[in-house]
Amino acid sequence: MTTTERAAIGLNILKETTAMTTSTHVQAMHSGQALHGFGTLFRRIFFTALAALCLPSVASAQTANLWIDTNGGSCTRQSSAATYNDAAACASIQAAVSACVPGDTIRMKSGNYGGQTITAVKTAPGCTVIAEPATTTGLLTTHGAWYEIQNITANVNTGWFITGTASNITCRNCSFSGVNTSVFGYQDAAVYWGGKTSNISWIGGSLTNFSCSSCAKGMAVYGSTNMLVDGVTFDGVRNTGGLGNHFEVIRVDGNVNGLTIRNSTFGNNNETSTSTIFFSTWTGTKPQNILFENNFFGSPGSAYYVFQMNFQNLGSCANWTFRYNTFVPGKAGVLIDPASGSCSGGFSNVIWVGNLAPRGNCQGTAFRSNVWYGSSGAACGGTDKVVASAGFGSDGFRLAAGSLAIDAGGTGTDCIASDHDGNARPSGGRCDAGASEYGAAAQLAPPQNLVVQ
Amino acid sequence: MWGTSTSSTVTGYRVYYGTAPGSYFQQRGAGVSAGSSTAYTVGGLAGEARYYFAVTAVDNAGNESAYSTEASKLVQ
């Protein structure tokens, strides 16, 4: 028996129970409109409709080449995408990806699954696993190649682990929270990208309310090539056990070549004795080709810095770009650890463009169109601006009307195409400094009085 | 169901939902399009969970508003 629940925003919630195999439908209807079909029994909860609405009924039964459910089955692939068939379902992501043909869609029924380990090696364009809402797993271990997983939530023994030579793997809208009881050796993090992995992406999702009594970081990026973190929220990442002498949200370590972190938010974490982002050469050479763009950085809490570079006198810091990030005041208002030994060879091609940050952060080699705020400290570059206040809005990151960061960023190649929220830049003659563009989007009023029925 | 944005340039709405407050299955910018309607039916929700919903407005330039005030519903 399969149960499908429908929530109708503003209309109703319907619970559909079938004795036979069923599928998911999306429908819009008048309040009170009857639903019929396929011998189903509908139990309705009606609410008052605030406005009459009539849309065509759309049957959109979801189809896939393979299905995954909690009790498994023959794991039979359909060459033409088909609706869910309990007997043909697979019991795990690994089984389904192993059976898929590149280009296939795999759907994962809602439910609570255990830890998932994927080792299947596919080829371009890969297979896509789409989890239904309320799909939870344990620890997600993704080796192999060429697949994408969407909408997974791991909240028991949480985490995401990649190592070996895994490549071309994307987790989209994947969220991890809760307590981690697994420790990946010295890798001790909730999310670990290591080995000689390449082309790994985390797009949307979160690491939130994560606690670990034996971890030293929320996420570790070690020895990986072409890594992307895009639109991920890191909130409530904390160490509860006091292991080691520092705890950071993300550690970027040796041999990393190509890491972009953009459109992401860091806040309410519990970094201790280090930084939000900690760079090190503990396991190899210095990270290179690093881009931070359109991120919101909250205060690094009891840590010292937003970025710390622990390079043990291994020469200069080179080829890093920090552009259009927003920083709220930190413990000491310092973004980059300026201590001796961190970048003992100086900075080479470390560029800061269009950031909105507290004063006193002139570690780098090129500064253009940044806005530095606070009561003391100089601007770093000739086109930078110094203001007393950033003019943040109520959320503490986005700009309020009248902020002096508005239209204070760069133009041309020093202005980027979109902001943290995906809104087009610039909305005026220049980009706004920081991660959020105040303009059409900021002035666009959100809907009101949302009611779920 | 929601009330319209007061902005005159709004051309549509996007629906976001998830099982934790403020955290939605859809990435920002990739919410479910509700067209220009002010109501939407979400299908495929598993029972025994609380779902959190928010809606944004989108204008003809592709700009997206902040999330609406969140609403939730326990689906049983």
pLDDT digits (tens, 9 = 90+) for A369-386: 999 998 777 788 889 999
Tokens 């799909």 map to which residue? A135
Instruction: Name the more confident of B56 and A155.
Output: B56
Decide if A144 contacts A159 (C-beta within 8 A): no
Is any Cβ of chain B less than 8 angstroms from the Cβ of A317?
no
Q: What is the ipTM of this complex?
A: 0.89
Distance from C-alpha of A135 to C-alpha of A23, rounded to nearest angstrom: 16
DSSP secondary structure letters along A255-281: T-EEEEEES-EEES-B-BSSEEEEEE-
- What's the pLDDT score for residue A431? 94
Query: Which residues on A lie below 8 Å from B7 (Cβ)?
Result: 443-445
Cβ separation of A208 and B29 shorter than 8 Å?
no
Q: Cis peptide leading into A125, omega within 30 of 0?
A: yes
Instruction: Report the pLDDT value the prediction gives residue A440, as an integer from 0 to 100.
Output: 61
What token pair was written down for B25?
Answer: 């299955």
Share of chain A above pLDDT 90, in %: 42
pLDDT (tens digit, 9 = 90+) per residue, B20-58? 777 788 877 889 999 999 999 988 788 788 888 999 999
Q: Is B7's pLDDT higher than 70?
A: yes
Strand partners, A310: A280
For residues A10 and A453, the answer to whether their CB atoms sit within 8 Å is yes
The β-bridge partners of A127 are A147
d(CA A194, CA A187): 9
B41 CB near a chain A CB, below 8 Å? yes
User: Mean pLDDT throughout A95-124?
Assistant: 96
On whether the CB atoms of residues A242 and A269 are closer than 8 A, the answer is no
Residues of A in contact with B68 (CB under 8 A): 446-448, 450
B22 to chain A, closest Cα gap in Å: 10
Q: What is the pLDDT of residue A57?
A: 32
Whole-model pTM: value is: 0.78
Mutation for testing the B interface, residue in A152, A229, A448 having most B CBs under 10 Å: A448
Q: What is the pLDDT of residue A73?
A: 97
Which chain B residues have a beta carbon less than 8 Å from that of A436? none
Write out chain A residues lying below 8 Å of B42, CB-based: 6-9, 26
> Residue A56 pLDDT more than 70?
no
Q: How far apart are CA A407 and CA A242, in angstroms?
A: 44
Cβ contact B19–A133 (<8 Å):
yes
Q: Is B11 on the interface with A (CB under 8 A)?
A: no
Token match 């290591």: residue? A194
What distance in Å separates residue B12's CA from the closest CA in chain A? 10
Mean model confidence pLDDT for chain A: 78
Task: Tell me the shortest Cα–Cα distance from B34 to chain A, in angstroms.
Answer: 10
Q: What is the pLDDT of residues A310-369, one digit of tens each?
A: 766 556 677 889 999 999 876 545 566 655 556 767 777 888 999 999 887 777 778 999
Q: Count Cβ neighbours within 10 Å for each residue of A377-400 and write b for 16 or more, e otherwise.
A: eebbbeebbbbeebbbbeeebbbb
Q: What is the mean pLDDT of residues B4-26?
A: 85
Of B2, B7, B28, the CB nearest to A450: B2
Residue A207 in this model has a pLDDT that exceeds 50 = yes
3-state DSSP of chain B: CCECCCCCCEEEEEEEEECECCECCCCCCCCEECCCCCCEEEEEECCCEEEEEEEEEEECCCCECCCCCCEEEEEC
How far A224 CA lies from chain B's nearest CA (Å)? 24
Mean pLDDT of A143-172: 90
Is the Cβ pair A206, B19 closer than 8 Å? Answer: no
User: Which residue did the predictor score with more confidence, A293 or A28?
Assistant: A293
B16 vs A: CB within 8 A: no
Residue A301's contacts (CB-CB under 8 Å, 6 or more residues apart) are: A269, A270, A271, A272, A331
Question: Region A16-20: what's the mean pLDDT?
Answer: 29
Contacts of A151 in chain B (CB under 8 A): 25
Residues 6+ apart with CB under 8 A from A340: none
Contacts of residue B72 in chain A, CB cutoff 8 Å? 452
Do the Cβ atoms of B53 and A452 come within 8 Å?
yes
Look at B63 and A29 and tell me if their CB atoms are within 8 Å: no
A281 touches chain B (CB under 8 A): no
Which of A217-226, A238-247, A268-277, A300-309 ranks highest by mean pLDDT? A217-226
> What pLDDT score was predicted for residue A6?
38
The span from the CA of A326 to the CA of A264, in Å, is 11
- In Å, how far is B9's CA from the nearest CA of chain A? 8
Residue A181 is predicted with a pLDDT of 59
Q: Tell me whether B33 touches chain A (CB under 8 Å).
A: no
Q: Does A401 touch chain B (CB under 8 A)?
A: no
**Per-residue pLDDT at B62 exceeds 60:** yes
C-alpha distance from B21 to closest chain A C-alpha (Å): 11
Nearest to B45 among A6, A29, A62 (CB): A6
Residue A418 has pLDDT above 60, yes or no: yes
